[in-house]
């Protein structure tokens, strides 16, 4: 009995004479309560669920707005495309001016004009409408070369007279005079000799005008020549033919 009691006393009362011993204090921390700011698991689940629902609503709202924006853009584009057509002013096309009535011959210009019967070199040739042409002189000269393509040499100089027997003035600006050599009517080259004076200007009714033309014609090719005179484009051609002495 005495031993047991001693052991108990030694366990309950630590010896006072222990040197360097520390005293350890143990404190208990109370569990957090709602008043201290703690959250329960149920409350956290509710917050997460509410946040997810809000996110779904926002996504749906963004999709709806973007869809309406596309439709509005298409409608605006269609409206802007149709607007110029609806608001465009009426365009009035002015009528074309009337085609002027031709005053000269109306035959097709691609077709050569008709030739009248040949006359001798010293005879008058009549068109039939009051215009009469006559070769008043044929001179053999030594032509002078003037300008490119001209060759000086033996030539014939023709003086042609045109009488206006009509009742209206006639223009002589379009008179054409040509000369051909031989029976095959080889064209003779016109020569820009200084004595050349083509027809020009107007001839009044009852008056006449003259023109001078020079052609290169070798001496041996003068046995038969043909002179062709057209007083205006499309008019019948007057032909003079014969030898030149």
pLDDT of residue 241: 97
pLDDT truncated to tens, each residue of the chain (245 aa)?
444 444 444 444 444 544 444 544 555 555 555 544 455 677 777 777 777 788 888 888 877 777 765 555 555 555 555 555 555 566 677 676 666 554 455 555 566 778 889 999 999 999 999 999 999 999 999 999 887 878 889 999 999 999 999 999 999 999 999 999 999 999 999 999 999 999 999 999 999 999 999 999 999 999 999 999 999 998 999 999 999 97
Q: SS3 sequence, the chain?
A: CHHHHHHHHHHHCCCCCCCCCCCCCCCCCCCCCHHHCCCCHHHHHHHHHHHHHHHHHHHHHHHHHHHHHHHHHHHHHHHHHHHHHHHCCCCCCCCCCCCCCCCCCCCCCCCCCCECCCEECCCCEECCCCEEEEEEEEEEEEECCCCCCCCCEEEEEEEEEEEECCCCCEECCCCEEEEEECCCCEECEECCCCCCECCCCEECCCCEEEEEEEEECCHHHCCCEEEEEECCCCCCEEEEEECCC
Domain boundaries, the chain: 119-242
CATH topology of domain 119-242: Immunoglobulin-like (2.60.40)
pLDDT of residue 57: 80
Nearest by Cα to 140 from 150, 149, 153: 153
Q: Are 232 and 175 in contact (CB under 8 A)?
A: yes
Model pTM score? 0.55
């Amino acid at each position: 009995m005495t031993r047991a009691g001693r052991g108990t006393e030694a366990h309950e009362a630590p010896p006072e004479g222990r040197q360097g011993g520390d005293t350890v204090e143990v404190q208990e921390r109370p569990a957090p309560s709602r008043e201290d700011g703690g959250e329960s698991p149920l409350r956290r689940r509710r917050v997460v669920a509410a946040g997810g629902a809000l996110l779904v609503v926002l996504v749906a709202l963004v999709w709806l707005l973007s869809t309406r924006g596309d439709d509005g853009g298409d409608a605006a584009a269609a409206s802007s495309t149709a607007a110029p057509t609806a608001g465009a002013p009426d365009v009035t096309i002015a009528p074309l001016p009337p085609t002027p009535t031709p005053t000269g011959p109306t035959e097709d210009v691609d077709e050569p004009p008709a030739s009248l019967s040949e006359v001798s070199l010293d005879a008058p040739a009549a068109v039939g409408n009051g215009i009469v042409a006559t070769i008043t002189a044929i001179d053999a000269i030594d032509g002078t070369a003037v300008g490119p393509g001209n060759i000086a040499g033996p030539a014939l100089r023709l003086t042609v007279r045109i009488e206006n027997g009509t009742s209206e003035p006639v223009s002589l600006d379009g008179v054409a005079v040509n000369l051909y050599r031989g029976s095959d009517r080889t064209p003779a080259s016109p020569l820009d000799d200084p004595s050349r004076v083509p027809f020009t200007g107007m001839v009044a009714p009852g008056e006449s005008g003259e023109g001078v033309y020079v052609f290169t014609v070798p001496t041996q090719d003068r046995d038969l020549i043909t002179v062709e005179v057209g007083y205006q484009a499309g008019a019948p051609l007057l032909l003079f033919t014969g030898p030149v002495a």
